[in-house]
Structures are given as C-alpha cells and as structure tokens.
Amino acid sequence: MNEMFEEIKFACEEEIEKVENHQTSEYLVIRAGRANPHILDKVMIDYYGVPTPIKNMATISVPEARILAISVWDQSQMKNVVKAITVADLGVNPTDDGKTIRLVFPMLTEERRREIVKQIKKIAEDSKIAIRNARRDAMDMIKDLEKNGEISEDERKVFEGEIQKLIDGACDRVDDKSKVKEKEIMEV
C-alpha cells in the first residue's frame, strides 16, 4: 500500500484517539450522584504561589457512595483547599472538621439528571465533530495525492473508503460511551 497513505491514516488514527481520550476524561468529571474523586481533577490550590491539583497535596478517599473525604497533608493549607473547592462550584459544599474535608453529594433530581444527559450528548456531538474534521483533513490529503499524480483515481477511492471505515468505527465508539454514561446518570 502507498506509504503516503499510511502516514495519512496514522495521523487520522492519532487524532481519533485524542478525541476519544478527551471524551472519556470529560465523562469522568461528570457527577452521577455518587462520589467520584475525578470531580476534583480540575480544582487547583494556590500552594505557596504555585497552582497545584488537590491530588498532589492530599489523600482523596470514598468512605461511602456519596461522600468524598479529603485529608490534606499540610494542615496549614486546609482553608485554601476548602476555598478552592467552594470557588470551583462543584455543586457541593465542603465541610471541614479540622482534619478532614468532606464533600457530601446530594441525590440527583430528575431535572438535574436530564441536564447532565444534555451535557453528555453535547460532549459526544463535539467529539463526533472533531472526528469528522479529522476525516476532512485526511480526505483533503488523499485528494492532493491524486492531484499530484502520486495515486490513481481507483486508489483514491479505496483510501477514502478505508478512512471512512475508521471514522464510522470511531463515531460508533463515541455513541456507545455516550449511551453508557447516559444510562449511568439516569439510574436511580
């Protein structure tokens, strides 16, 4: 097979992988009515002038299904951690007993579940748009190969078919992840 096409296909596969990984990481921080330590991934604490993720300065545990417990290693930073969590607007208020910060997640209402499902669908749609953009880029490069006389029209059609198979598979995986996350959210 054409060496140039292999490079184009590889670049397209890499882009698809990035998109799928991004979708997965976005779904990790979506709250499903139970405690998930990943909800704190984007919360940064000003630790002696350096923005630091909570996981780098505390132990995060899940003692019960709807409770996160955060044990800060440097007790002098408790107030900063509580403040950062409050400012992050996670939908829960931290309680601080002097040693441990607790986040108690309320049960999700039906209305909130539907809002979260809309958010999940938007992430899936954004992922599919990014995948289609990768397809467009690959198809443009394949057409350029034909235009420059490096491949024939028949080869172009075969290569475009292969890229389309890649894209179809990626879109199916995005939809599957979306359905799994929606089901998880809608479970009571």
At 176, the pLDDT band (50, 70, 90 cuts) reads very high
Ranking 13-22, 100-109, 136-145, 148-157 by mean pLDDT, the lowest is 100-109
Domains present along the chain, CATH in parentheses: 3-29+109-186 (1.10.132.20), 37-104 (3.30.1360.40)
Q: Which two tokens stand for residue 89?
A: 């607007």
DSSP-derived secondary structure for 16-35: HHHHHHHHHHHHHTS--SS-
Q: Beta-carbon neighbour count of residue 169 at 10 Å?
A: 12
For residue range 25-34, what is the model confidence (pLDDT) as tens digits? 888 777 666 6
Partners of residue 67 on adjacent β-strands: 64, 104
The better pLDDT of the pair 64, 18 is held by 18
Is a pLDDT exceeding 90 seen at residue 175? yes
| pLDDT single digits (tens) 48-60 | 888 888 888 888 8
Q: What is the per-residue pLDDT across 62-95, written as a single tens digit (0 to 9) for each?
A: 888 788 898 988 888 888 888 888 888 777 788 8
Q: Which helix (H) or strand (E) holds 68?
A: strand 67-72
